Structure 1
Amino acid sequence: MSSIPFVRDFDFEYGRCDTLSPLIRRVIAPNPGPFTFTGTGVYIIGHGSVAVIDPGPVDPAHIEALDRALEGETVSHVFVTHHHLDHSPLAHPLAARHGAKVYGFGPQQAAPAGGEVRLEAGDDVGFQPDIEVGDEEIFRGKGWTIEALHTPGHTSNHVCYALHEENTLFSGDHVMGWSTSVISPPDGHMGDYLYQLERVRDRNFARLWPTHGPSIDDPRPFIQAYIDHRRAREDQILACLADGHDNIRDMVAIMYADVDKRLHPAAAHSVLAHVIHLVELGKVASDAVDQVDLSAAFRLAEPA
């Protein structure tokens, strides 16, 4: 498998507001976990009249920490990358407190598949921004310019936000330094995800700030490693099918033989996303009516 140069070490304290650059500060929420790493990193952009990205969970200690960080300032924009419970629940309460609006892409296109395991911190059911952003739409505030980039894949409504003044990207869960991103059909889509990885790579940002974990300081080779890892997984799937392993669970048992079996149900959703993408490419076929199904049988497609 292709190796991703993960970065996991960084200095932080819960409740502390850290200055990361001339325009960026961060407060990390105390919600660590298997999908949030050390917790949700909430970014504050600018000074005086500021934007906030991914306010995070409704947690009393976290709310108090954000209030301290924002003392004497006004929030003009609240941006949300997507609708998961570790990102969006505090968006509307924070915006209401400051007389601001919540910006995001809109509701998800499809509910995530159920199955054996919950692959995320959970959905913020019914989340709806006040203002739906458009791809490449520009927003301006006091001393900052933010561009919304619709980056479906992790979720259908995922948005990254580029800060023009520093050529940096707030990448949400699209690209993370500490782990790969979960792609779970039907709302998650591997083809969209790979396309958007290439798009972000080719923007040549100087730095990425994911919502979880440390910054990615050399984004282009890191994102390429992300892409290479996904392509290698697809090669593994095609090899499994060539050997007669026609279902997701059998593929996972082979592809993840050295991984704790408790993690296999989560891996199955990622493999399913890859298989659906390979069906769309015409490399894999299935007779299943519903291919978003871990029990469906697949086979190599006949050559055209």
Structure 2
Amino acid sequence: MDEQHTGTAQSLEPLVVRVLAPNPSPFTYTGTQTYLVGTTDLAVIDPGPDVPEHIDAILAAIAGRPVTAIVITHTHRDHSPASRPLAALTGAPIVGCAPLVVADTGPRLEAGFDPDYAPARILSHGEAVTGQGWTLRAVHTPGHTSNHLCFALEETRALFTGDHVMGWSTSVVAPPDGDMADYMASLDRLMHRNDRIYYPAHGNPIENPRRLVRGMMGHRKQREGQILRLLREEARPVPAMVARMYAGLDPKLFPAAGRSVLAHLIDLRTRGLVTEDGETWSHVG
């Protein structure tokens, strides 16, 4: 595991520097990782939460160089709020994902949405932001959120994966905005790329990307299989499925696990494999 130090700029390769925010938690692991891309002029990817000491650390890493763009993968509150003070301090435009605010009071393991995110430019799949010696191209990867983008550094075949693929845990896919079918399709999109390394927003760099993505897809297929086997036995509500599927899990986390199960069930319902009656889900056939 790479050693990480909050607030200290760490060079990962000639074009990439990492700055760790001081926001460790059950959903951020050691904290949100902000990346600086470039040498002469810079892009700042996911400046993180609006925490003055983190913004100061980013400014120290920028070291007076021009910032071409502040680039956002998605609008959870541990990723995008610092874009605004950083834009005011550097004059750089905020670019990247589309705005998205979802009213959701259900149990969740990730941060809520940033309601004040206001990009100067929204990047669609395949569009790029460029600087001297670097190109960041948007890769649309909905699933964790519907507006999620990864960014490919074309010069070194590195991919900044935000929360779509993380270096410590599988991504949370929680309805109403999280969508399991989209998430699986986005993983498949990455399987067809030739990225050398992933730099996630949480956790260590991923040096064998395809192997990890293949394993993540397999894990989700196993969960889907568990759900179908349980519903073939008998119709069940989500909490009963969670109790069977997540043996040994802290009961405090059962509601959040239920969101993941619900995401699978919604996908299975769309595919005509399960149906629901009130709180109870049944296998079709």
TM bucket normalised to smaller? over 0.9
Deviations, residues 182-210 of structure 1 (Å, cap 9, x unaligned): 00111000000000001012102110000
Q: Report the identity percentage.
A: 47
Does structure 1 residue 133 correspond to structure 2 residue 116?
A: no
Partner residue, 2:2: 10
Q: TM-score, normalised by structure 2?
A: 0.97
Partner residue, 2:284: 301
Does structure 1 residue 114 correspond to structure 2 residue 105?
A: yes
CA contact (8 A) 1:113 1:184 kept: no
Deviations, residues 76-124 of structure 1 (Å, cap 9, x unaligned): 111001111110001122122222111122122x625422x23212221
Structure 2 counterpart of 1:298, which letter? W
CA contact (8 A) 2:125 2:139 kept: yes
**Runs of at least 4 residues of structure 1 off by over 3 A?**
none
Deviations, residues 245-280 of structure 1 (Å, cap 9, x unaligned): 421111001001221211111100000000000011
Q: TM-score, normalised by structure 1?
A: 0.91
Partner residue, 2:49: 57
Which of the residues 182, 204, 210 maps onto 1:192? 182
Structure 1 counterpart of 2:272, which letter? G
Highest relative contact order (Cα 8 Å, sep 6+), 1 or 2?
A: 1
Deviates more, 1:59-68 or 1:78-87: 59-68
Which of the residues 53, 56, 67 maps onto 1:75? 67
Does structure 1 residue 35 correspond to structure 2 residue 18?
A: no
Distance in 2, matches of 1:228 and 1:61, equals 40
Give the aligned CA root-mean-square deviation in angstroms. 1.3
Does structure 1 residue 221 correspond to structure 2 residue 211?
A: yes
Q: Give structure 1 stretches of 5+ with no counterpart.
A: 1-8, 289-295
Distance in 1, matches of 2:140 and 2:201, equals 16
Does structure 1 residue 19 correspond to structure 2 residue 11?
A: yes
Distance 1:299 1:219, change over 3 A: same
Distance in 2, matches of 1:204 and 1:227, equals 17
Number of equivalenced pairs: 285
Distance in 1, matches of 2:239 and 2:148, equals 28
Deviates more, 1:170-179 or 1:88-97: 88-97
CA contact (8 A) 1:240 1:251 kept: yes
Deviates more, 1:147-156 or 1:134-143: 134-143
